[in-house]
Chain A
Amino acid sequence: MSASSTAVAGRPAQPAASDGSLARPTVGRLLRSELGLVFRRRRNLVLLAVLALVPVLIGSVIRLSSSPDAGEGPQFIDRVAGNGLFLSLTALVVVLPLFLPLAVAVVSGDAVAGEANLGTLRYLLVVPVRRGRALAVKYAAVLAFCLAAVLVVATAGALTGVALFPVSRVTLLSGGTVPLAEALLRTLLIALYVGVSMAGLAAVGLFVSTLTEVPVGAMAAILTLSITSQVLDSIPQVAAIHPWLFSHRWLAFGDLLRQPVPTRDLLLGGATQVAYAAVFLSLAWSHFASKDVSS
Chain B
Amino acid sequence: MTRAATAVPPEAPGTARTAAAALTTSGLTKRFRGGQLAVADLDLTVPMGSVFGFLGPNGSGKTTTIRMLLGLVVPTRGTWELLGVPMPAGGSRVLRRVGALIEGPAFHPYLSGRANLLRLDAADRLANPRTTRRRIDQALERVGLSAVAGKRYRNYSTGMRQRLGLAAALLQPRELLVLDEPTNGLDPQGTREVRALIRELAREGATVFVSSHLLAEVEQICSHAGIMSAGRMVAQTSLAELGARAEPRVRVETGDPELALRVLGELGCLGAERRGDAAEALLDGVAPERACAALVGAGVPVRGFTVQRPSLEETYVALTGEGFDVSQ
Contact = CB atoms under 8 A, between A and B. Distances in A.
Interface of A: 14-16, 18-22, 25-27, 29-30, 32-33, 37, 41-42, 118-120, 122-130, 290, 292-294
A20 B109 contact: no
A293 B128 CA distance: 28
15 contacts: A16-B173, A16-B175, A20-B128, A26-B129, A27-B125, A29-B125, A30-B122, A33-B122, A118-B107, A123-B100, A123-B107, A123-B120, A126-B100, A128-B92, A292-B72
Given A16-B173, A127-B123, 18 more contacts: A19-B131, A20-B128, A22-B126, A25-B125, A26-B129, A27-B125, A29-B129, A32-B122, A33-B119, A37-B108, A42-B110, A119-B106, A120-B106, A122-B106, A123-B100, A127-B95, A128-B91, A290-B74
Contacts of B62: none
Contact of B120 (A15, A27, A119, A124): A124
Contact of B104 (A29, A119, A127): A119
Contacts of B128: 19-22
Contacts of A125: 71-72
Interface of B: 32, 67, 70-74, 91-92, 95-98, 100, 102-104, 106-111, 118-120, 122-129, 131, 134-135, 168, 171-175
A20 B172 contact: yes
B74 A26 contact: no
Nearest to A14: B126
Contact of B70 (A27, A30, A126): A126
A41 B104 contact: no
A237 to B, nearest CB: 39
B127 A124 contact: no
In terms of DSSP, what is the predominant structure of the interface of chain B?
loop
A108 to B, nearest CB: 18
Contacts of B100: 123, 126
Nearest to B98: A126
Contact of B127 (A20, A118, A123): A20
A126 B102 contact: yes
A292 B110 contact: no
In terms of DSSP, what is the predominant structure of the interface of chain A?
loop
Given A32-B122, A292-B72, A130 B108 contact: no
Nearest to A291: B74
B108 A16 contact: no
User: Lowest 9 CB-CB distances: which A-B pairs, in order?
Assistant: A119-B106, A128-B95, A33-B122, A25-B125, A29-B122, A293-B72, A127-B123, A20-B172, A292-B73
Nearest to A6: B128
Contacts of B98: 126
A16 B97 contact: yes
Given A25-B126, A120-B107, A292 B173 contact: no
A127 B124 CA distance: 6
Contacts of A290: 74
Contacts of B70: 122, 126
Contacts of A37: 108, 111, 119
Contacts of A120: 106-108
Contact of B72 (A30, A32, A122): A122
Count chain B CB atoms within 10 A of each CB in A18, A37, A292 and give the residue with the most.
Answer: A292
A20 B173 contact: yes
A20 B127 CA distance: 6
Given A122-B102, A126-B98, A127-B124, A294 B72 contact: yes
Contacts of B96: 21, 127-128
A29 B227 CA distance: 41
A215 to B, nearest CB: 13
A33 B119 CA distance: 6
A15 B176 CA distance: 13
B101 to A, nearest CB: 9
Nearest to B96: A128
Contacts of B108: 37, 118, 120
